[in-house]
């Protein structure tokens, strides 16, 4: 059995990104006026209250500096609170404020509608194949060093 050309996989992933609306930095695929990274952070904090900033960074796959900017933005908007970790004074624990919890719950409801529509548009067999294939795809993705000094395309 031969493996598919990497270009074909890239095209499929790009088509998914485009179709799902992930390139719009101002709203989520479910249409909420919040960036995808902010929405994911709020959802992580809903699932894991009192998470420390380093673990949030790992869960989101963001660099330390990107997570710091994200946390500052959410704190400025009154969506999260941040306090020093009692065991490690260098670390910060994060929690949703009441406002942040309401927003995270709304994001959860709206995203479940979208994912429910996706699943309902598939046959049972196709849905099962999808649910088995995505973990394989996630596992196959290598850990990239996001902090490397690679060159970026300037526009």
Domain membership of residue 137 (yes or no) is: no
pLDDT digits (tens, 9 = 90+) for 68-94: 999 999 999 999 999 988 888 788 899
Is the predicted pLDDT of residue 143 greater than 90, yes or no?
no
Number of Cβ atoms within 10 Å of the Cβ of 123: 8
d(CA 134, CA 129): 9
Domain membership of residue 59 (yes or no) is: yes
Question: What is the per-residue pLDDT for 80?
Answer: 98
Pick the residue with more confidence: 106 or 5? 106
Of 47, 49, 48, 21, which is closest to residue 36 (Cα–Cα)?
21
Domain count, the chain: 1
Question: What is the per-residue pLDDT for 88?
Answer: 81
Domain membership of residue 50 (yes or no) is: yes
d(CA 27, CA 149): 29
Is the predicted pLDDT of residue 155 greater than 50, yes or no?
no
d(CA 42, CA 114): 18
26, 33 Cβ separation under 8 angstroms: yes
Domain that holds residue 67: 32-131
Domain membership of residue 2 (yes or no) is: no
Q: Which CATH number fits the domain that encloses residue 58?
A: 1.10.10.10
pLDDT digits (tens, 9 = 90+) for 27-43: 888 888 999 999 999 99
């Amino acid at each position: 059995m031969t493996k598919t050309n990497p270009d074909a996989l890239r095209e499929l992933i790009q088509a998914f990104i485009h179709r799902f609306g992930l390139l719009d930095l101002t709203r989520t695929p479910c249409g909420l006026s919040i960036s995808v990274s902010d929405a994911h952070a709020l959802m992580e904090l809903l699932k894991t209250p009192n998470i420390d900033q380093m673990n949030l960074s790992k869960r989101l796959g963001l660099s330390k500096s990107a997570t710091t900017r994200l946390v500052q933005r959410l704190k400025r908007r009154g969506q999260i609170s941040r306090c020093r970790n009692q065991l490690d004074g260098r670390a910060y624990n994060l929690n949703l404020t009441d406002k942040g919890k309401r927003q995270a719950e709304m994001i959860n409801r709206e995203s479940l509608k979208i994912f429910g529509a996706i699943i309902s548009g598939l046959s049972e067999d196709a849905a099962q194949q999808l649910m088995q294939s995505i973990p394989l795809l996630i596992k196959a993705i290598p850990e990239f060093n996001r902090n490397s000094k690679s060159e970026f395309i300037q526009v």
